[in-house]
Every structure is written in structure tokens, then in C-alpha cells.
Structure 1
Amino acid sequence: MPRVEIYDTTLRDGTQGEGISLSAKDKVKIALKLDELGFHYIEGGWPGSNPKDLRFFELIREHQLKNARICAFGSTRKSGTAADQDENLQQIVRSKAPVATIFGKTWDFHVTHALMTTLEDNLNMIEESVAYLKQQGMEVFYDAEHFFDGFIANREYALATLQAAKKGGAARIILCDTNGGHLPNEIFDLVSAVKQVIDLPLGIHCHNDSELAVANSITAVQAGVIQVQGTINGYGERCGNANLISIIPNLAFKCHIPSLPEESLAELTDLSRFVSELANMHPMNNQPFVGGSAFAHKAGVHVNALLKNPQTYEHLEPEKVGNRRRVLVSELSGLSNLVYKYQESDLGLGLGLEKEDNRKLLDELKELENQGYQFEGAEGSFELRVRKAFYDYQEPFTLESLKVLIELREGTVYSEAIIKIKVNGQVMHTAAEGNGPVNALDNALRKALEGFYPEISSFQLNDYKVRVLDEKEGTGAVVRVLVESGDGHSSWGTVGVSPNIIEASWEALVDSIAYGLLRLENKGELATDQIINGFIRNKC
């Protein structure tokens, strides 16, 4: 089967999503990543709309792309303006992009009520705009805006707009579900109808207002389109665009229709997170294929079956899209969850525990969850609990005393933490300030430990979340603090629970440092003179 073209519009349509903004340099980084993975077309923006998009087209010309062709976006000429005099079309030409993608009105309702012109004038605008851009040496794609609405309202006129684009010399005609309101069966039937009268290659561009953009795009491919337009992570205006991160593996693994090179499919998870990072958007845990929860298993019955054969509760091997399987430990866990955690650990956990010991630990963990602990996002704290329960684990430091001072002085709040800890038999007494009590605690702890473990300077706090567990108790409620830390290469989560937010934060911070050091010692990356007596003694 012929390869389906993947047309990415993250840099233009995706940035219309609420809260998403990309600099020109961000756009270049994303474009280079997409090109590396084999995307066929990358829409860089609308050069006639803002200076940032113009700057992108200047910057991207400094790079030699291996696979993708850059597209400049815009609209058909204005009514009453010749194509060679239209500023929007002139900006598209000045972008020096090899491909021009222009949209025009397909729905007669939009022609008369939005453009405020005649149906015949709109047909001329489409044909002349396409023809002018082609004369400038550009490959031209025509986006038939609101096509499906227009086809249902006035079939004859909707097809006439496509014929005008064809007459002008369009290389592709893209059928757009601009309002995102159509069902897959409608998409299939209407695409099939168009193919009978338009002999140009067709594409599909769907919005997600009915949560069907991915399904509609795949259905359109099955009906015969050869190009799919969408965005990374489904970013876009209102409810977003068709999510290419889901479309690409569905085409490859479910429909057996190739698009990107096979080796690029295992990079989809990294691509998703790369774009979300540049867009300053939190990765969606429940995103299909690439989300952190996409292959996460919690129920004991599921994990028991998973140990026997992963296909029992997974539709796809996570590695095929660059993701990984995760097993969670919670109040829903069974012994299988613990066994799986032992097996997947890369820190030396063995399988030498008796079933009775496993059951005891599981019961203890469930009781902790009942108190408010949550180990789903805190696998660092889980690992430490296991080692404390069944291995001769020695903590790298112990707390002697802790004091936090908060002072309001001249309208400004000052925070100071004073701690006394014991490290390898030596007592360290130190203090540090911070922009809040938790920051002061973190600074004081690091200050006390860096002389013994200088490696912790690479540890950084990536995220800090506080959850009130029993709201009816007001300010006296128990809180759960989740901390995510990292070292630039990997990240880990830890948890603390207490009616006192400072105590809960301290518990999570201590686990964070201890777990980071545990990882380093296991990898042999702590200096030997720092490991006095060692703080891991494995019984197995």
C-alpha cells in the first residue's frame, strides 16, 4: 500500500491552542525534529499574519532538511484584489517556502455571510490564487475550509470550489472538518463521493470538537485520502486538531498503512514530550500510546495476568512507540504487583522474599495508602519502603532536629530553616534562607549534605504538588506532598503525608535526596570514600 503523507501543522494550527506559544527558534527546533523523523510536510506558519512566522521562514532556510518540505499558509486573495497585488499571497511568495497551502471557502453560507461576496467571485478567488502561486514555482495545496458542512448544505457548489482549485493547478486538495462536528461514517461517505468526481490526490484536516478527529482522519485514509494533516499531541484551537501522535501508530499497527519510517515509530514518545516541553505544556498522562499512564497497570488481577503474558491487558508493546510498561502499587494491588516491581527494578532487588513477607509488606502499603500516601507517582518512596522492610538499608543521613522560622518584616515574608543532621557519625548543624519554608528546608538540607555527597548538586526539584486530603477539616486537614526530582538524565517521585505541610514536605524532600543517592551508589557513581559502611546491604 502507498505511504500516507504526514503533514504537520503544529507550528501554525497548534499554536492557536489556548496557552500555547512558540518562539521562532522553538519552531525551528520542532521542525528539525520532525524532519529527522521523516515527516513529509511541515507547515511553518502564516507569513502574512505576524513577524514571528516571517522570522521562522528566514531561520529555517539556514538548515538543509533531509525529508520534509516546508509549507507557508495563507488565504485566497481578497475579493476585488488581483492575485498579484494581494499582500497575503505576496508574503507567501516572499517566505521562499517550496509549498504554499491556502484555504478558501467551500460552504456557500460562509461565502455570503463571512466573505460578503458572490458565489461566482469566490470561485474566481480560489482558482486565481492557486494559479498565481503555482506560477511563482510553488507546489500548491488547497485547504477546502468547512468542506463537509458545505457539501451537505450545497453539494454542487462545494464540488465546484474543488474544481476551481484543480483548474488553478492545485497538487493536493485537503478536505477540512473545520468545526470538528462530523462522524466517521459521514467522513467516509463524503470522501468516497469526492473521489468519484475529483481525480486529484486528497488530504484530510480534522478538528477534535467531537473527540473524533483521530477516528475521522483514519476513516478518511480508509476512504482513499493520501495525506493526513494534524498536530503533535493534538494541540490546536478550541478542542484541538487531529493528534498525529495517535494517528501514526494507528495507521502503522492497526491498519498496516505506512507513513513515517518504521524506525521513527519508536521515537513518538520522545517527540510528544519534546514538543510539550517547548510549548510549556504538561505532558498528558492519559494520552494514548505515549502518556505515562498509557501502559500503567494498577489492579492486582490485571498484573497477575500481565506477568503471564502482556497481551492480556495491552493492545500494543509499549516499546514500539518508545514508551514503557509501568506497574503501580496501591490499595488495589495484589502480590503480583510487588513481584512485578521486584522484577523491573534496576537497583538490585531480588526475588528472595517469602510470600508471607510479601503479604505483610502489601498490607503495610495499603494501610499507608489509607492514611493518605500514594505510591503511584512516588516510586522512589516505594523503593525505599521495600528496602527498609526487607533489606539492611541504612539511610545516608538522619535528622537530629529541625526548626523553621517565618518572619513578616516590612511587608515581606522571610523564611529560614535550621537543621541538625547526622551523616556517617558526624553532626552537621546549619541554616539557610529561602523564598518560602519549603525552599528554605531544601536549601538547608543540601547545604548540610553537599560536603559529604557533592553529587546532589545535580539533583533538581522538577515539580512540587500539595493535595488536601480531607477538605472538611479546613486548614487542619491532612495534606499529601508529591515531589518530582531529577538529575538531568532521569526523574523520580517521592511522597510525604502529614497534617503539617512542613513535615509532609520534609518527608518527601528527604526521600528525594536519599533515593537519588541510592541510584548513584548502585551505579557506582559515588566516590568510594563517601560510602562509609555503605547504606545498602542486600540480604539476597
Structure 2
Amino acid sequence: MTRSITIFDTTLRDGTQGEGISLSADDKLKIAVKLDELGVHYIEGGNPGSNGKDVEFFRRVKELDLRAKIVAFGSTRRKGASVEDDENLRLIAESGVQAASLVGKSWDFHVHTALQTTLEENLAMIGDSIAYLKRRGLEVLFDAEHFFDGYKNNRDYAKTVLRTASEAGADWLVLCDTNGGTMPHEISEIVTALVAEMPQARLGIHTHNDCELAVANALSAISAGALQVQGTINGYGERCGNANLCSVIPNLQLKLGLPCLPEQKLAQLVPVARYVSEIANVHMPTGQPYVGSAAFAHKGGIHVSAILRDSRTYEHIVPELVGNKQRVLVSELAGQSNLISKAKELGIELDPKSPQAAETIGRIKELEHRGYQFEGADASLELLLREASGEVRELFVFESFKMLVEKSAGKPVVSEAFVKLRIGGESLYTAGEGNGPVNALDNALRKALLQYYPQLTDMHLSDYKVRVLDDKEATASKVRVLIESRDSEDVWSTVGVSGNVIEASWEALVDSMRYALLGQEPAVAAMAAEPRPGLLNH
């Protein structure tokens, strides 16, 4: 009979210990809903006795009616103290959760050095605390902290810790590689031995990524007989992070054939990973396995030619199984296959034998040689392709812009931009202020266009990046500007390159608005039919 693996998510607790990650109570509640929709079995929310945010989370999460079990985290009672007098345990019991995750020492070195108590007292602390929570009606998961280090240092004591927890009523015994220094073969050997010695125990695995082995170690433990895996979305966590559930889950389900989520839920993995990344305000690595935007991206022409025949040539799974999609990148390495595939993806008819196709490939390579990069600027690439196919009509004709930046003693910098355009034969001259030159240009251009294209009201710039392309030239270096824009329905990126950062920003800004208005008609006046100030005219 195929084993079913239980997924324990600790993004809201262990994940928040990662550097740069801070979640409000509202953030935690939003993420909890997404995790529940994904189908995880346990959601560890934090410590109800540690801070106000966690107290609020546990108070409000009861209103959400989630299917997953909400878990409160805490440690065993203090040494030499009565369990009935332990405030931390009392708050866990009164938090209204269904389950508690209780951490205790299993490494004798830690008992002597960190707790500064005896091995016997540590066992009493573990047994008393678990028994107390069981009497209060909670399911208890015992986190055997530093278990693998403890097992290698004093095997008998580490196993005694597990037996003590089990005899006190612990429902799960979770083996923690807290320092993240254990090798996969060691995990496998130790878990195999424990499964044989404790056949009735339900074992879990909790690994950290200090040797970049958290996922491998978690899978090793599961293969050896553990039934629960703990981790975080995107691998967030202290130091180098925890086991990344975005890799663990599909590896279990798709590679090892061990069910852990309802099959129809697996396709939600990418949306959940990106949602958590947005809420945490942490950039999601493009190359993250399974869920990264580059996980199924193809750049080399030979690769693209092959995947167009059969995607299995360069893809280990069907991307849609985890909610991702195949992407073809167009760059200086591109061949005709890349370009035709990208055009097809965008619904653009481009004859591979046509002069336009050859011209566009040449143009892309020339532009990338000059510093343009279309891998991260799909909107600029789409504009270029649609121009090559004759689909893009002109929205406006650029004539000039001027910038004024003034700094007075004791006052903030003031930026003003003056933009001159022609729309439908009419000349427009507008000015705009901003908290920087790019913001001022955006405001001036928007002011000119809004009377013709009111749709731009919903569009705004959401990110702005500048990359120096040749640092040998110091302040005279050529720069590449990437602008991310969004409206209520979409997000897109555009690129500009110049030796002048304002000009590069203007190019990316113009393309961002042109992309926003693809297929739109002006509210007044006729469209101009002159060459656009976009990429093909640089």
C-alpha cells in the first residue's frame, strides 16, 4: 500500500526567522488561507506567548474555518519549575489550536551547555510538558532539536529522549537537523534504524539548509520511513533556510510516487510560492526549481528546436503539473526557433521564411550586443515582434523632453520634466513634477496622454532597476534600465539602454505605456502614423 506523506508548513513560524522576513498578523492570516487552499495538513502559526502579532494571529485564525490543523509552537517547561506554573505552556493550551509543536533537547551537549541542567531533568521537562498538553486535549508534535547531532554523539540518550516523549503521549516524533550539517546517507541510516526499533512511532523530519541539503535530507528521511515532512514555502528560514516545500512536495508526489497533496492542488504550487514571496516582499529566485520563472525557460537555439518537437527533450516534468509554464527566451543566443516559438506564444503570425523574421533576429542580436536584455523585458520584446509583423499603430510622436533638477540648501531636491509630443497632428507640451527625474517624466508623459488614453489611469510603475554595463567607464558608463509596470490585471517589464540614465529610463518608460495601450484607440483625435520612438528606431 502506498504511504501518504503529511505536510507540515512552518513558513509562519520558522520561515519568519529568516533574515529580512517580517510578517504582520494580517500577512500571516492571508498566507494561512493560501496554504490551506494548497492542501497542507498542518500550519504552524507561531508562539502565542512570544509577541503581539502571534497572539492576534491565533485569536483571528479561528474565524477562518480552515481545514488544515493550526499549530502553536513552544518549548518545554523551564528547568526546576512546575509545568502548571509555566506561562508559555498555559498560553499554548488556551490559544484554541488543535495541535502543539513542542521543542526539546535531544543532544546531551546542548542539555549541559545551553540548558545547563542534568540529562534526567531534561527528560522530565519533556515528559511533563507533553503530558500537560495532552491532558488539555491537544495533539502534540515533539520536535527533537539537534536530534541527528545528538544521535551521533550519544545514541542511547537521543533514543531515550524519543521514548520519553512517546510514553508521555506525543503523537509525532519529529527528528530535527537543526544545524543543517547532516549528510543524506547519515539521515537515511539513522531513520532506518529508528523505524526498525520504534515501528509504532510516527516519525517526522525537519531539516535546515546550511549544507544546501535540506531537501535531499528530507527526502532521504521519507524514503527511510518517516511519514511527515516539515518545511517552508520558498525555503525561508533562519541562516540558510529550511527545507523548501516547493521542491519537497513535487519531488515526493511526482518523482517518488508518494501522495502528499490532492492531485488537483499541485498546480497551485507556483501561485502560492509567488503569493508568499509578494507578501513577504522577498525577491523569488528565477532559477528556483519547479516554481521559478526560469525553471522551464529555454534560451539556446538547439534546445528550443528540440522542445518544439517534444518538450521531454529538455523538461523533466510537464510544467503545468505544478502551475508553471514553458518559456522561450529570445536573446543573442536565439535562433529562428526561439523567435517563432515566442511569436506563436504571443499569438503573432510570423513566417519563419520571411525577410521580417531574419531582420528581427538580426535586430535582437544587435540590440543585445549594445546592452539590451529581453529575458527580463517581455513587453519590449512583444512590441518589437508586433512591429515586425506590422501590428503596432502609432500612439504618439516624441519630439523632445527637458529636465530641471534643483537642490537648495535645507530643502529637498525638486525634479521637473517638460515633454513635447504630437498626437493625431496636434502638438502637446506638458510639464510634471516628481520626487525624482523618472517620476517627473512619468507624470509629464502621463499628463499629455491621459486626455487621449484615459485607460492609463489604472497603470503605474511598480519597480525600477538600473544596471551599469561597463564599470570601467565609471560615471560615464552605459546603463540598462528595467521598468516594471502594472495595472489591475497585468504586470509587464520594459527595457532601455543609454550612456545617460535619463534617456535609458525614458525609453523603458515609453515602451511601458505603449504596451499598456496595445490595441487601444484614442478617446479623441486620430492616431499618428509616424515611426515610434521605440526600440526599432534607436
Contact 1:42 1:71 in 2 (8 A): yes
Structure 1 gaps, min length 5: none
2:404 is paired with a residue whose SS is strand
Whether the 8 Å CA contact 2:74–2:89 is kept in 1: the answer is: yes
The letter of the residue matching 2:18 is G
Give me the whole-angstrom Cα distance separating, in 2, the residues matched to 1:501 and 1:528: 32
What RMSD, in angstroms, separates the aligned Cα atoms of the two structures?
1.6
Contact 1:108 1:150 in 2 (8 A): yes
In the alignment, is the contact (CA less than 8 A) between 2:458 and 2:488 conserved in 1? yes
- Structure 2 CA distance for aligned equivalents of residues 71 and 531 of structure 1: 62
- Is residue 12 from structure 1 mapped to residue 13 from structure 2 by the alignment? yes
2:332 is matched with which residue? 331
Deviations 1:293-314 (A, max 9, x none): 1111111111111111111111
Instruction: Specify whether residues 70 and 393 from structure 1 end up closer, same or farther in structure 2 by C-alpha distance, changes over 3 A only.
Output: closer
CA deviation string 1:412-433 (max 9, x = no partner): 3111001110112221111011
Counterparts of 2:527 and 2:365, CA distance in 1: 34
- In structure 1, the residue corresponding to 2:23 is in which secondary structure? coil
Shift of 1:316: 1.2
1:58 maps to amino acid:
R
SS at match of 1:62: helix
Q: How does 1:448-467 map to 2 (within 5 A)?
A: 448-467=448-467
SS of the aligned residue for 1:208 comes to coil
Letter in 1 for 2:16: T
Alignment of 1:60-459 (within 5 A): 60-65=61-66, 67-198=67-198, 199-346=200-347, 349-391=348-390, 393-411=392-410, 412-459=412-459
Does the CA contact (< 8 Å) of 2:204 and 2:226 recur in 1? Answer: yes
Q: Does structure 2 retain, via aligned residues, the 8 Å contact 1:453–1:530?
A: no
| Uncovered stretches (5+) of structure 2, i.e. residues with no partner | 532-538
Q: Helix, strand or coil for the counterpart of 2:100?
A: strand
- Paired letter, 2:80: G
Q: Distance in 1 between matches of 2:444 and 2:95?
A: 54
Structure 1 residue 84 displacement after superposition = 1.2
In structure 2, the partner of 1:38 is 39
CA positional deviation for 1:531: 6.7
Query: Measured at CA, do residues 445 and 268 of structure 1 come closer, stay the same or move farther in structure 2, by a change above 3 Å?
Result: same
Look up the equivalent residue of 1:305 and give its one-letter code.
Answer: A
Q: Residue 414 of structure 2: SS of its match in structure 1?
A: strand
User: How far apart are the structure 2 equivalents of 1:368 and 1:533?
Assistant: 26
Deviation per residue, 1:179-217 (Å, 9 max, x gap): 011111111110011112222110000001011111111
- Offset of 1:364 from its aligned partner? 1.7
Q: Which amino acid aligns with 2:380?
A: S
Q: Which moved more, 1:43-52 or 1:298-307?
A: 43-52
Is the partner of 2:407 in helix, strand or coil? strand
Amino acid at match of 2:438: V
Q: Report SS of the residue matched to 2:272.
A: helix
Q: Contact 2:340/2:352 (CA < 8 Å) preserved in 1?
A: no
In 1, Cα distance between equivalents of 2:98 and 2:442: 53
Distance of 1:415 and 1:221 partners within structure 2: 59
Aligned partner of residue 399 in structure 1, secondary structure: strand
TM-score by length of 2: 0.95
Q: Residues 501 and 384 of structure 1: is their aligned pair in 2 closer, same or farther, counting only changes over 3 Å? A: same
**Aligned-pair CA distance for 1:371:** 0.7
Is residue 461–residue 483 contact of structure 1 (8 Å, CA) maintained in 2?
yes
- Local SS of the residue matching 1:409: coil
Tell me, yes or no, if the aligned pair for 1:44 and 1:71 is still in contact at 8 Å. yes
Cα distance in structure 2, aligned partners of 1:194 and 1:260? 26
What is the distance in 2 between the residues matched to 1:30 and 1:238?
Answer: 22
1:510-529 aligned at under 5 Å gives the runs: 510-518=510-518, 520-521=519-520, 526=521
TM-score (normalizing by structure 1): 0.95
CA distance in 2: counterparts of 1:278 and 1:528, whole angstroms: 37
Counterparts of 1:272 and 1:238 in 2: how far apart (Å)? 20
- Report the AA paired with residue 93 of structure 1: A
CA 531–341 in structure 1, closer or farther in 2 if over 3 Å, else same: farther
Residue 505 of structure 1 aligns to which amino acid in structure 2? S
Distance 1:318 1:456, change over 3 A: same
What's the secondary structure of 1:174's corresponding residue? strand
Q: Within 2, Cα distance between the matches of 1:40 and 1:113?
A: 35
Classify 1:392/1:213 alpha carbon distance in 2 versus 1 (closer, same or farther; 3 Å). Answer: closer
8 Å contact kept, 2:395–2:528: no
How far apart, in 1, do the equivalents of 2:36 and 2:469 lie? 46
Aligned residue for 1:480, secondary structure, equals strand
Distance in 1 separating the partners of 2:87 and 2:391 = 74
Contact 1:7 1:41 in 2 (8 A): yes
Letter in 2 for 1:265: L
Asked whether the 8 Å contact 2:269–2:322 carries over to 1, the reply is yes
Q: Give the distance between the partners of 2:302 and 2:191, measured in 1 at CA.
A: 44
Question: Partners in 2 of 1:284 and 1:237 — Cα distance?
Answer: 17
Kindly provide the amino acid, as one letter, of the partner of residue 369 in structure 2: N
Counterparts of 2:368 and 2:269 in 1: how far apart (Å)?
34
1:474 deviation in Å? 1.0
1:91, 1:484 → 2: CA distance? 45
Whole-angstrom CA distance in 1 between matches of 2:311 and 2:209: 31
**Aligned residue number for residue 502 of structure 1:** 502
